[in-house]
Chains A and B, each alone.
Chain A
Amino acid sequence: MLIDSVIIVLREVIAVAFLASVLLALAYYLRMPAPGLRATTALGLVAALLFDVFVRALFDRFDGFGYELATVALDALIWMTLLAVIAVLAITPKRPQARAVLARLMSAALLLAITREGSEILVYFSSLSGQEDAISDALTGAVIGVGVGFSAGTLFYYLQLAQRPDAALRTGAILLALIGSGICAQGSLLLIQADLLPAQTPLWDSSDWVQESSPLGQLLYALIGYEATPSPLMVGVWLGSMAIALSAALGGRHLAGRRVAGVEGHAHDPRRRP
C-alpha cells in the first residue's frame, strides 16, 4: 500500500512539478513575481474537488462518456492557457502590461494543472474509505510521493537556471509547447477510447526501448504524453499542437514587430542565488 501510494501520487505530482519549474524559471528570468505556489495549490485542490464532483455528475451522460468529455475539456483549457503564455512570452515580456497578463496566465495554467492531477489523487484517497488500516500507509506514501515530485521539480528548476539568459525564454517556450502537446495527445486518446475519434493501427512500437509501464516510461508519459504504440492520429495531434504553439510564438513576435530581446543579462546573473 505504501509503495502503491507513492507511485500514484508521484505520477500526478511530477507533472505539476515540472510545469511549475518551467513557469517559475521563466518568471525568474523575466524578473517578475512568480505564481504564488501556496495560494495556487490551495485553490487548485479546491478546484480538483469540484472537478471530481463535476465528473461524477457527468459520468453516465453523453452515452457514458461524460468522464472523457469533461477531462478533454479541462485538457483543452490547459493547452489554450499554455498557448497564451507562449504567445505573450513572445510579444514583449519586458513591458509591465504584458508581465501582468503573463503572471495571471501562469497562475491560471498552474491552477488548471493542479486541478487535473489533484482530482486523481483525491479520487484515490476516496477509494480508501472503509480501509482505516490502509489510510495511514497511503498518507505516508503520499507525503513521500509529494516530496520526491517536489525535489524533482526543484532540480529541474535549477537546471533551467544554469542555461544562458538569452536562451531562457526560447527553452521555456519549447518546454511549455512539449507539455501542451503531451496534454493534447492524452486528450486524443480519451476521445479514441470513447469512439469519438477513429481507432487506428499503431504507427510504431517503441516498448522495446522504453516500456510505458517502466518508471522512465511513466515519467515521459506525464511530461510529454509518451506512448509506446501511438496511432497516426495521436502523432498527428502531437505534431499539430507543437506547430500551433510555434505559430503562437511567431505570431506574438510578429505582433510585437521586433525581435524578442530576451533578458537584461548584464544586470542579472541567474547563476547567482537571489
Chain B
Amino acid sequence: MAIRQLTRPRTTWYRPRPVRCAAAALLLGTAAIANGAPPTLDIRLNNHLFEPSELDVPAHTQVRLRIENLDATPEEFVSWELNRKKLIPGNHTAILYVGPLAPGSYPFFGTFNPKTALGQLRVQ
C-alpha cells in the first residue's frame, strides 16, 4: 500500500483536511515582506496530524516554517518536492526555510506516520 502511495501522482495521493489558514498566511506574508524578513508560518503536529494541513504561500517568496511537535515522540518532516527533511524530537519546535517556490502544490509528510501526518503548501 505504501509503495502504491509512493507511485501515485502527487496531486491524488494526498487527502487534505478541511482546516486552512490561507488568509492568515497571506496577511503574514504581506507584513513580513514589508519588513524584509521572510514570513513565518506555524504548523503544529498533534497526535501525528499536521494542523493546519494546508497552507497558502505566496509564490517566489522565501518562507520560514515553524513546526511545533506537540507529541512526545519524534517525527521526521519530509517533502520530496520542497527538498526538505528535518527530524523533530518530541515536544520540540523545528524551524526551516523553504522557497522561493513556483506556483503549485508541495506535499509534505511525517516519515514515521506517513498515513496521518500529511499536509501541503499551496503556492500561488
- Which residues of A does B touch, CB under 8 Å? 3-4, 7-8, 55-56, 59-60, 63-65, 67-68, 120, 123-124, 126-130, 189-190, 192-195, 199, 201, 211-215, 217-218, 227-230
How close is B78's CB to chain A, nearest CB, in angstroms?
Answer: 9
With A56-B89, A126-B73, A130-B73 known as contacts, the answer to whether A194 contacts B3 (CB < 8 A) is no
Other-chain residue from B1, B85, B89, B98 in contact with A3 (beta carbon distance below 8 A): B1
B84 — which chain A residues lie within 8 A by C-beta?
A: 189, 193
Q: How far is the CA of A212 from the CA of B80 in the complex (A)?
A: 6
Q: How far is the CA of A105 from the CA of B77 in the complex (A)?
A: 33
Other-chain residue from A55, A130, A194, A212 in contact with B96 (beta carbon distance below 8 A): A194
A130 near B97 with CB under 8 A, answer: no
Having A59-B89, A123-B74, one finds 16 other A-B pairs with CB under 8 Å, namely A4-B2, A4-B112, A55-B87, A67-B86, A67-B94, A123-B76, A124-B76, A127-B75, A127-B113, A193-B83, A193-B85, A195-B97, A201-B102, A211-B80, A213-B80, A215-B7
B1-60 residues at the A interface, CB under 8 angstroms: 1-3, 6-7, 10
A123 near B87 with CB under 8 A, answer: yes
B95 — which chain A residues lie within 8 A by C-beta?
A: 63-65
Other-chain residue from B74, B83, B99, B102 in contact with A126 (beta carbon distance below 8 A): B74
B80 near A228 with CB under 8 A, answer: yes
Other-chain residue from B74, B86, B97 in contact with A199 (beta carbon distance below 8 A): B97
Other-chain residue from A67, A120, A129, A214 in contact with B7 (beta carbon distance below 8 A): A214
Q: How far is the CA of A129 from the CA of B73 in the complex (A)?
A: 7
Other-chain residue from A65, A201, A215, A218 in contact with B100 (beta carbon distance below 8 A): A201
Other-chain residue from B3, B80, B81, B112 in contact with A215 (beta carbon distance below 8 A): B3
Q: Which residue of A lies closest to B38 (CB)?
A: A195
The 4 closest A-B pairs by CB, nearest first: A212-B80, A64-B95, A3-B2, A127-B73
A-B contact pairs, 5 of them (CB 8 A): A67-B94, A123-B76, A127-B74, A213-B6, A213-B80
Q: How far is the CA of A192 from the CA of B89 in the complex (A)?
A: 21
A130 near B2 with CB under 8 A, answer: no
B86 — which chain A residues lie within 8 A by C-beta?
A: 67-68, 193
B2 near A7 with CB under 8 A, answer: yes
B111 near A8 with CB under 8 A, answer: yes
A194 near B83 with CB under 8 A, answer: no
Among A63, A214, A230, the one with the most B-chain Cβ atoms within 10 Å of its Cβ is A214
Q: How far is the CA of A234 from the CA of B54 in the complex (A)?
A: 28
Among A120, A193, A201, the one with the most B-chain Cβ atoms within 10 Å of its Cβ is A193
Q: Which residue of A lies closest to B7 (CB)?
A: A214
Other-chain residue from B3, B6, B83 in contact with A229 (beta carbon distance below 8 A): B83
A3 near B112 with CB under 8 A, answer: no
B80 near A193 with CB under 8 A, answer: no
A212 — which chain B residues lie within 8 A by C-beta?
A: 80-81
A127 — which chain B residues lie within 8 A by C-beta?
A: 73-75, 112-113
Q: How far is the CA of A125 from the CA of B87 in the complex (A)?
A: 13
B111 — which chain A residues lie within 8 A by C-beta?
A: 8, 124
A192 — which chain B residues lie within 8 A by C-beta?
A: 83, 97
